[in-house]
Amino acid sequence: MNIAAVCGSFHKEEIERMLEYAQDEASIKGVKISQILWVPGSMEAPLALERILKNGEVDAAITLGIIERGETQHGLVMGQAVTKAIIELQIKYNKPIGLGIIGPGAEKHHIEPRLEPHARSAVNAVIKMSK
């Protein structure tokens, strides 16, 4: 099983750690993260996922990112739009996408404890849904 990872670079240090956890989980489960694509942030993830899934080289994808709480509702709206687009891509291509996006509404103290579980859960979700 080949999995692609789409990673938001807005919080690059944290997402690099998430990617390490995801790669470790994939290795434990005997699958491979065969492609890694960095995008500016979570908002760009659906387009990158569309491009990856339509080329047929991967069986599934994960997306890793963080949508922080801001002073306005921008993050909430963005999180809802991104999640909806990801669900639609799963259905369109009949390929699972693991949602490893922390937030929306994440505050600084929410991020660290969620890095590992969100990354590992994204990998496990696509493995389970690929069977």
Establish whether 74 is a catalytic residue. yes
Closest CA to 3 of 79, 83, 53, 61: 61
Query: Which residue among 74, 109, 110, 118 is the active-site one?
Result: 74
Angle at CA 127, nearest 5°, toward 5 and 49? Answer: 30
- Alpha carbon 81 to chain centroid, angstroms: 14
Query: CA torsion, points 46, 8, 23, 98, in degrees to nearest 10?
Result: -30
Q: What Cα–Cα distance (Å) separates residue 48 from each residue in 69, 110, 112?
A: 24, 26, 25
* Catalytic center residues: 74
